[in-house]
Amino acid sequence: MSERRIGMVAGETSGDLLAASVLNHLGSTHTAGIGGPAMQSAGFEAWWPSEMLAVRGYVEVLKAYPRLVLLRRQLLQRMSDWRPSVFVGVDAPDFNLELERRLRVAGHRTVHFIGPSIWAWRPERIERIRAAADHVLLLFPFEKPIYDRAGIAATYVGHPMADEIDLQVDPMAARDLLGLDRTRPVVAVLPGSRGSEIEYIAPIFIDTVRLMARSHPEIQFVIPAATPRLHARLQQMLARRLDSSVTALLLEGHARDAIAASDGVLVASGTATLEVALLRKPMVIAYRMAALSYRIMRRMQLLPWIGLPNILCNASVVPEFIQDAATPQALARAMLEQLQPERQSELASRFEALHHELRCDCGHQAAQALLKIAAR
């Protein structure tokens, strides 16, 4: 086979963007599998779209299980026939680790990109990773010793978001871009990028907006929606829960601009919390999910935090409110505290140091690691 081939599977928007940052550094390599629009723009051949894997929570995964099993079986056959030099599972560990294991048994080299969060959830995954992956690419520096102790080959490559985001961001330019008043405070509200998150989290966040606006009517709220479908759903919720006295701007996309323009961010736990930290903004992190999913995950939690900024700083630098603790009253109170100037200054300094630590030219580093493995 003269053509260099790399198979990839990336789930959801974050995986699509992460994989795209690597594809841009792979040169004349044919890449194919499951991917999203960012990967396709980088020349990726998407056999299936990445949104096929956008499922989160134990209850939700159970409902989608038959469809995902069929998809994995079809993909395994097609990938085996295509015979890549190396296969890369990008995140989506519940789907990718079993796929990687089967491909590895069939004689293919396998890499998992984004070490599954064995440091926070599912510590038993370390044995699954050992069986599935020849190599693991890591986004966070504290993960490398964990894999070294387990005897699993791993490379820290940094985080692509730290490379993408400028070390200096102009909030007033972002306000001008979005048509916001430069003189009034701005709070960005990010309720998540999945349908299930919008249903569980957005109502609480919108009620929080209503409470904050009641005591501080000068605040401008900006709410970016990840997709057109979620934009329509959020529009319905806002029409039912807010009146015209609240200054709330609903956007389609522009999440990074909304964060950059803000004085503080109310955000659902996930990758977006890291984006907020890299843009040096105070935040309040919250999360809600199906009750059964939460009970299962709480039993397996190893760390006292779920938010990446707190995990990376190894301290409670921003407040977190999970499940029943995430009430509009608690979130509004915490958000107003985060808007204090001294709090903003303190966090900006902490997050600047974090930004430098994660800024390693991730796409290039990951691509070089993959090309070495593919050439063996």
Question: pLDDT digits over 80-95, tens only?
Answer: 999 999 999 998 888 8
How far is it, in rounded angstroms, from Cα 40 to Cα 23?
10
Question: pLDDT digits over 139-155, tens only?
Answer: 998 888 888 988 999 99
* Structure tokens belonging to residue 29: 């390599």
Helix, strand or coil, per DSSP, at residue 52: helix
* Structure tokens belonging to residue 334: 């915490």
Q: What is the pLDDT of residue 370?
A: 96
Looking at the predicted structure, is the pLDDT value of residue 106 above 60?
Answer: yes
Q: What is the pLDDT of residue 19?
A: 93
How far is it, in rounded angstroms, from Cα 182 to Cα 184?
6
Bridge-based pairing of strands 135-138 and 154-156 is parallel
Percent of the chain with pLDDT strictly greater than 90: 66
Whether 339 contacts 282, CB under 8 Å? yes
Complete DSSP assignment for 308-373:
HHHHHHTS--S-EEEGGG--HHHHHHHHHHHTSHHHHHHHHHHHHHHHHHH-S-HHHHHHHHHHHH
How far is it, in rounded angstroms, from Cα 320 to Cα 7?
38
| pTM flag (> 0.75) | yes
How many C-beta neighbours within 10 Å does residue 131 have?
13
Question: pLDDT digits over 248-303, tens only?
Answer: 999 999 999 999 999 999 999 888 999 999 999 999 999 887 666 666 566 555 55
How far, CA to CA in Å, does 300 sit from each of 97, 116, 117, 121, 326?
A: 19, 14, 12, 6, 20
Least confident of 123-127, 224-228, 269-273: 123-127
User: Residue 306 — pLDDT band, cuts 50, 70, 90?
Assistant: confident
Of 160, 194, 184, 182, the residue nearest 288 (C-alpha): 194
Residue recorded with tokens 């701007």:
249
**pLDDT mean over 15-25:** 91
The DSSP secondary-structure symbol of 280 reads: T
More confident residue, 261 or 21: 261
Domains of the chain: 5-158+360-375 (3.40.50.2000), 171-358 (3.40.50.2000)
